[in-house]
Amino acid sequence: MFIIESYPVAVIFCVITMLCWGSWANTQKLAGRTWRFELFYWDYVIGIFLFSLCSALTLGSLGSEGRPFVKDLAQGDIFNIGNAAIGGVIFNAANILVASAIAVAGMAVAFPVGIGIALILGVVVNFLTDSKGNPVMIFTGVAVIAIAIVLNAVAYHRKNRGQRGISTKGILLAIAGGILMSFFYRFVAVSMDLGNFQRPASGKLTPYTAVFIFSAGILVSNFIFNTILIKKPIIGEPLSYRDYFRGKLRLHFVGILGGIIWGIGNSFNLIAAGKAGPAISYGLGQGATLVAALWGVIVWKEFSGAPRGTVWLLSAMFFLFIVGLILLIFAGR
């Protein structure tokens, strides 16, 4: 299977993760013009699962290093398979909340608040699991990013002054999703032998197998979570699965594409975790907050018409995010 051998390559993979995780929600925005996000989300989950299977059967099965996917899956013990699956269930619940926040408040808010919180708590949780990297630089970077998140919340409040109900709902959804999302990565990381992808310990999983089990957890749990959401949506009228099958092929493709984009980022991140450590790998990947905020501000114009001075708050937020991410990169050297 394909394995990363150097830290600089691991950083590049984490940057790709950041771009993918920060960009997938554009497909939700595109489909959302005529397609409810509860219906979009089914295609998104299918896209994640399909990519994980393709990745496992190709990159996870070729070459002489590590165990090939089918052999690795067969030898995995129930504890590690269960951890990877639980990670998928937790992620799915969290991601539905964040996706709901995007539908209510937009990308420029839902990502910085929700994923920003997931970054801060997730780095702490994953560092306690595997303390790889310079702790001073890691937590200084996280603190700088926390200040950036506060600036984004202030900018959002200025823009939505007088629309307190909408802003409060969007921020609360993002906070709940962020707290829950901070725990999923730890379960997937525990299922793998992070210290030796070439010859993983018996019962442990390679990153490709872990990603597949994780994605299966997302898919199976979606029959529960998204069914509830379709029947009792956060915004809008209740839907049915008949509405899903009435959707145009183009809309289904957009959702699947969104899942594939997120799945690429997820696979690259877990592959990089063996060399960078889970705290740094996860933290850099969740720099997706910066990418999503850029999409929301520049492309989707979510802060157009905001009061004077808001642009300086956003500029400071972007600057601090970049400083925090640089600190995380150098923490692993």
Phi, psi of 192 (to 5 degrees): -105, 160
Mean pLDDT for the chain? 90
Share of the chain above pLDDT 70, in %: 96
Give the mean pLDDT of 195-206.
Answer: 93
**Cα separation, 299 vs 292, whole angstroms:** 10
pLDDT digits (tens, 9 = 90+) for 260-292: 999 999 999 999 999 999 999 999 988 887 887
Name the residue with higher pLDDT: 135 or 236: 135
Q: Residue 316: which pLDDT band, with cuts at 50, 70 and 90?
A: very high
**Cα separation, 268 vs 194, whole angstroms:** 14
Q: Is residue 111's pLDDT more than 80?
A: no
**Domains in the chain: boundaries:** 14-331
pLDDT digits (tens, 9 = 90+) for 148-166: 878 877 887 787 665 554 5
pLDDT given at position 107: 63
Q: Residue 205: which pLDDT band, with cuts at 50, 70 and 90?
A: very high
pTM of the model: 0.90
**Residue labelled with tokens 């997730």:** 122
| DSSP annotation string for 164-222 | HHHHHHHHHHHHHHHHHHTTHHHHHHHTB-TT-SSSPPTT-B-HHHHHHHHHHHHHHHH
pLDDT given at position 108: 64
Closest CA to 226 of 213, 210, 244: 244
pLDDT given at position 163: 56
Lowest mean pLDDT among 175-179, 185-189, 286-290, 320-324: 286-290
pLDDT given at position 289: 77
**In the chain, what is the straight-line distance between the N-terminal and C-terminal CA atoms, in Å?**
25
Altogether, the residues listed in the chain come to a count of: 333
Q: Is residue 116's pLDDT more than 80?
A: no
**Cα separation, 141 vs 244, whole angstroms:** 42
Lowest mean pLDDT among 2-16, 201-215, 267-281, 290-304: 290-304
Give the mean pLDDT of 204-228.
Answer: 97
